[in-house]
Structure 1
Amino acid sequence: MSSDDGHNQAVARILVVEDEIFIAMEIERALTSGGFEVLGPVGSIEDALQLLHREQPDAAVLDVTLRDGRVTAVAALLRSRGVPFLLASAEGRQLTESGFFQGVTNLGKPTDMSRMIGEIRRLL
């Protein structure tokens, strides 16, 4: 018996950290229809860190500014585990030109969902 046409490749799991519920739902829908499994979405640093103690995502989409602060602690944990991530932040270009997030892709807001899917595929 074959396992569904040789598609035994595991589905990539993407962590979504976004505190605006409608944006989180839109990102989740786009990722699911793009063939990914979504971890979350979670809307706080605390919830994201708790989830990361239980799960290992393949990549992540992070909003930078959440209700309980900046997402840097979550990004640092992902980086320490070798998990690539994208930002979906309304903050300007200076965010990724220097400092902790230097060189990370920021999809901006409103987020172009098809670009997000393409960038995640590129990261994986």
Structure 2
Amino acid sequence: MAVSANSSRSGAPLSGRRILVVEDEYFLADDISRALRLHGAEVAGPVGELDDALPVLNGGGVLDGAVLDVNIRSEMIFPIAHALRTRHVPFVFTTGYDKVSIAPEFRDVMLWEKPIDLTAMVRGLIELMGDRPA
């Protein structure tokens, strides 16, 4: 995992932000979560099944962003992505599949192919969230 040690908590770009991680590969979910925490984020999850992501979405807690694996245990993530888009929550996709597997309505979403450059993915999510209040 290539995450800069310079990303200290003080002045961390994701400080005060809650990010949902939906990833069914345990070690990758852990790496993504660790990278987000190094940049100051609070991680919701990680969750490895769509049914586990729904309570996080509907639990009333604020989500500032999300990292979504496109295929979770042979189920496509698009219902979760649609719910996030409806709520104006920025998100990025990760995938081990070809870009063609992305539903047309989500072709504009940043896609990170596995193996993921975690530092670049976190930077991309930070850019997406921009100046949105935490």
**TM tier relative to shorter chain:** 0.7 to 0.9
**Is the contact between residue 44 and residue 68 of structure 1 (CA under 8 Å) also seen in structure 2?**
no
Matches within 5 A, 1:21-40: 21-40=26-45
In the TM superposition, structure 1's runs of 4+ consecutive aligned residues that sit over 3 Å from their partners are: none
1:61/1:88 contact within 8 Å kept: yes
- CA drift of 1:78 comes to 0.3
- Match for residue 90 of structure 2? 84
State the Cα RMSD in Å: 2.2
2:100 is aligned with 1:94:
yes
**Structure 2: 5+ residue stretches without partners:** 1-9, 130-134
1:48-95, Cα deviation, whole Å (9 max, x unpaired): 011111122101000011115111110011011000110011122324
Work out the CA distance in 1 between the residues paired with 2:117 and 2:15: 26
SS of equivalent to 2:44: strand
Q: Which residue identity lines up with residue 123 of structure 1 in the other structure?
A: L
State the 1:19 CA deviation: 0.6
Q: Is the 8 A contact 1:60 1:86 kept in 2?
A: yes
How far apart are 1:10 and its partner, in Å? 6.1
Identity of matched residues, %:
39
Report if aligned partners of 2:15, 2:41 keep a CA contact under 8 Å in 1. no
Distance (whole Å) between structure 1 residues aligned to residue 101 and residue 18 of structure 2:
26
Question: How does the TM-score come out when normalised to structure 1?
Answer: 0.86
Point out the structure with max Rg over C-alpha.
1
Q: Deviations over 1:4-23 (max 9, x none)?
A: x9x9x961111000011110
Task: Count matched residues.
Answer: 118
Match of 2:19 among 14, 26, 45: 14
